[in-house]
Amino acid sequence: MTQNERLDYLVEEFKTDSVRYKDLTTPSDTEGKRQLLRSLMNIRMPGEMDERVLEIQDDYLQERIRENGIVELSDIPEIRNGISIWQGDITRLAVDAIVNAANSQMLGCFIPMHTCIDNAILYSITQVLKCA
């Protein structure tokens, strides 16, 4: 299965899995499909999922990680006394934790297609968990 075939498959499976968003129109472009899949993965509540979907999701996310590249802590120069500053895509970081200024409910964002930091962190955590 190619990466584009995985993406199409996963978008349809995650749409089907969602009662609220099953009728969303799937974008025709790759980036639009990626955003839709990311959003559907971010808002999905815990629960059972078909093993085939999980395997294809794992393959898809592993390839996305390879495509984007990983940034190790050793790649980030130390500014002073163990402090480093890095700007970039947090989903590329090979780190143990990412800290976010949480909202008052201490919950993440549940808005599909929203490009907030909460959804970026959730997507990053999904990728990291799939690698483990």
Q: What is the pLDDT of residue 92?
A: 84
pTM for the complete prediction?
Answer: 0.66
| Per-residue pLDDT at 127 exceeds 90 | no
Own/partner pairs, 125-128, CB within 8 angstroms, 24+ separation:
125/98, 126/41, 126/42, 126/61, 127/61, 127/64, 127/65, 127/91
98, 87, 107, 85: which is closest to 126 by C-alpha? 98
pLDDT (average), residues 112-123: 67
Per-residue pLDDT tens digits for 50-78? 999 999 999 999 999 889 898 988 898 98
**pLDDT exceeding 90 applies to what percent of the chain?**
39
DSSP 1-60: --HHHHHHHHHHHHHHH-TTTTTPPPPSSHHHHHHHHHHHHHHPPS----HHHHHHHHHH
Q: What is the pLDDT of residue 129?
A: 47
Each domain of the chain, given as residue ranges in start order, spans 3-131
Q: Name the burial class of residue 17, with classes exposed (0-12), middle (13-18) and buried (19+) by CB atoms within 10 angstroms of its CB.
A: middle
Q: Which helix (H) or strand (E) holds 108?
A: none
